[in-house]
Each structure stands twice: as structure tokens, then as C-alpha cells.
A and B are shown apart, each in its own frame.
Chain A
Amino acid sequence: KAGVTQTPRYLIKTRGQQVTLSCSPISGHRSVSWYQQTPGQGLQFLFEYFSETQRNKGNFPGRFSGRQFSNSRSEMNVSTLELGDSALYLCACAGNEAFFGQGTRLTVV
């Protein structure tokens, strides 16, 4: 569904660098979740934010972090990038329909 906007759409980074991805949820939605999708591991939950507070966290190393702003926009950050972090990163607005944004495809070289 239109309304969940992720930027940038594509990103190429070098090992050791850090990256910040952005997600703007559907207007009025206060819950934002982040997922990582790779061919080997499928779709895996990273974290969920609600009203600027992290409500849940998946099983990922501390290099993965996020935050949410008062306007519900969210960012996730990955520090010290590794080749294995290459993935499609998806943001979703939670609810009975849980809509996804178009994702950010991150390639680490």
C-alpha cells in the first residue's frame, strides 16, 4: 500500500563503513518495524518502534540499531558493515495489515 516510504532505494557501501536507512510510515501510524531479507535467511525481524520507544528487538548484533522520531519517521543504522549485511532492508507499518515499504537494497563490497 502506498504511504510507507523508504530511502534510499539502493546503496553500495564498503566493508567497515556505516549506513543509515530511513523510513517514513503511513500517516497516523506510530509503529514501525524493520526487517532484513536475504536469500539464505529469508525475512528476519530486526526491531520495532512505537512512539519513539524500541518495543522489540530481533536476534541481531549490536551493530544494528534504530530510532524513531516524534513524527514517527524511523531510521536504522548499521555500523562496521560486513559483506553478510548485504540484503534488502524493509520497513513496515504494523497493524492488521502490516504494509511494507519498497525497501532499501544494500550491497556491501
Chain B
Amino acid sequence: GQNIDQPTEMTATEGAIVQINCTYQTSGFNGLFWYQQHAGEAPTFLSYNVLDGLEEKGRFSSFLSRSKGYSYLLLKELQMKDSASYLCAVRDRADSWGKLQFGAGTQVVVTP
């Protein structure tokens, strides 16, 4: 079967760093996405990795290791507004451009 696993919840203090891990087992691989979703809102795109390595975008970085089926999202200098659910998603085929498989999401709680 196909599986995308991420922790259910993480708590961190304002100003700290949090790393959200995602492991995947899919029939193929054509890219990994990270999204942020605040309660009651639609997911917002954060990052896309298709090659191994680290992609940095401001306070957010995402890492991918295709051989290990592993990715992480790193949130630095946490702010209260970063409290949200973070979703990991995999596209498993190049010809299924719009078909993403999502993990259950990691709820990040930022405390003062």
C-alpha cells in the first residue's frame, strides 16, 4: 500500500526551531510538497522538493532524501502565527500532475 506518515502534534516555544518529519512509501515519486493549513482555511503552499537536498525559503526550509523516502520541514524563529497544521504530500507519477497523496498532518502549537 501507499503510506505517508508524519507526527500528529508538536509543541514548541516562540522563537525556537521545530522540525516536522515525513516518511513516505509510494509506488512512485515525482515530488514532495509541504502545506500550511490554519483551522477553517485552505492549505497554503510552502515548498516543493523533487531532487535530494535542502530548499530554503525565508524561515522555512524543506529537505528531501529520495533513497530514504524521507523529508522534513524546518520552521525557524517560530512565531505565534505559525500555529497550524502542516501537511506533507507526495505526487507519485509524472503524468498525474494534480494527484497528490497527503499525510494526516502535523499540528504545531507555538507557546509564548
Note whether A and B form a binding pair.
Answer: yes
Q: Taking the nearest CB of chain B, how far is it from the CB of A4, in angstroms?
A: 9
Cβ-based interface call for A100 (8 A): yes
Tell me the B87-112 residues at the A interface (CB within 8 Å): 87, 89, 95-105
Check A101–B42 contact: CB distance below 8 A. Answer: yes
Residue in A1, A45, A50 whose beta carbon sits within 8 Å of that of B97 in the complex: A50
Q: Chain B residue with minimal CB distance to A44?
A: B102
Which of A43, A92, A102, A103 lies at the interface centre, i.e. has the most chain B CB atoms within 10 A of its CB? A43
Cβ-based interface call for B53 (8 A): no
Cβ-based interface call for B43 (8 A): yes
In the bound complex, how far is the Cα of B44 from the Cα of A102, in angstroms? Answer: 10
Cβ-based interface call for B33 (8 A): yes
Check A55–B104 contact: CB distance below 8 A. Answer: no
Tell me the B9-44 residues at the A interface (CB within 8 Å): 31, 33, 35, 41-44
Cβ-based interface call for B60 (8 A): no
The answer to whether A55 and B42 touch (CB under 8 A), given A42-B104, A43-B87, is no
In the bound complex, how far is the Cα of B35 from the Cα of A95, in angstroms? Answer: 14
In the bound complex, how far is the Cα of B38 from the Cα of A103, in angstroms? Answer: 13
Check A1–B45 contact: CB distance below 8 A. Answer: yes
Tell me the A84-109 residues at the B interface (CB within 8 Å): 88, 90, 92-103
Check A48–B98 contact: CB distance below 8 A. Answer: yes
